[in-house]
Amino acid sequence: MDFETLRSTCLTCRRCPLAETRTQVVFGVGPTDAEVLFVGEGPGQQEDLTGEPFVGPAGHLLDDMLSIIGMGRHNCYITNIVKCRPPQNRDPLDGEQTACMPFLRQQTKLLRPKIIVCLGRIAAMRLIKPDFKITQEHGQWFEKGDILFYAIYHPSALLRDLTKRPDTFRDLKKLRAKVLELSADPARYDIP
Ligand code: URA
């Protein structure tokens, strides 16, 4: 299956009850040859209205965080565990995540990223390990197959709790170093 077929299948998905309440499916954004894949938990209100991931307040902070490490929507791929907004921005339920995971698995298979960065606890628990502890294990590398997994605090958590920002700054610098080490074309990142 190619990316466009996957996207159109996803856009008409009715595999879980989130299909009843969504406005738009939020499939993901970025180049299909991205080396780094960022995964959040699920669309919020602005994302549901626009069909784009991370465009609300947390998204603005994510853009700032990415720009610190020479990244943006032009050179990495951004998506979520669930592609439809959970009502009232609650955590996506286990069944909703399970129903949606085939889309992320297929996106990963087509992108073949070198690094997957989990944004927050929900993505890390689903993609790294079920007992992932974000406060203890953010900024650590986990190797699975030929992909390196990494987790940082979710930008929404950084909006709520400024004391988490210094750790995240360190995590981002570590991520930048790894991206430059592994990239087939470091010039695609605007890193000074
Ligand atoms: N939070 C997420 O986890 N994903 C989005 O797309 C927006 C906010």
**Tens-place pLDDT, residues 38-56:** 999 999 999 999 999 999 9
Ligand 1 atom at minimum distance from 122 CA: 3
Q: 43 C-alpha to center of ligand 1: Å?
A: 5
Q: 180 C-alpha to center of ligand 1: Å?
A: 26
Mean pLDDT across the chain: 97
- Residue 192's pLDDT band, with cuts at 50, 70 and 90, is low
Percent of the chain with pLDDT over 90: 98
Q: Is pLDDT of 73 > 80?
A: yes
Q: Is pLDDT of 62 > 90?
A: yes
- Residue 80's pLDDT band, with cuts at 50, 70 and 90, is very high
Ligand 1 atom at minimum distance from 46 CA: 7
* pTM, entire model: 0.98
pLDDT for 1: 87
Ordered domains of the chain (ranges, CATH): 3-182 (3.40.470.10)
Ligand 1 atom at minimum distance from 53 CA: 6
State pLDDT tens for residues 129-178: 999 999 999 999 999 999 999 999 999 999 999 999 999 999 999 999 99
Average pLDDT value for residue range 106-127 = 98
Q: 89 C-alpha to center of ligand 1: Å?
A: 9
Mutate to test the pocket of ligand 1, among 24, 54, 73, 159 (most ligand atoms within 8 A of CB): 54
Q: Is pLDDT of 191 > 80?
A: no
Decide: 155 in ligand 1 pocket, CB within 6 A: no
CB 122 within 8 A of CB 88: no
Average pLDDT value for residue range 99-123 = 98
CB 108 within 8 A of CB 6: no
Decide: 28 in ligand 1 pocket, CB within 6 A: no
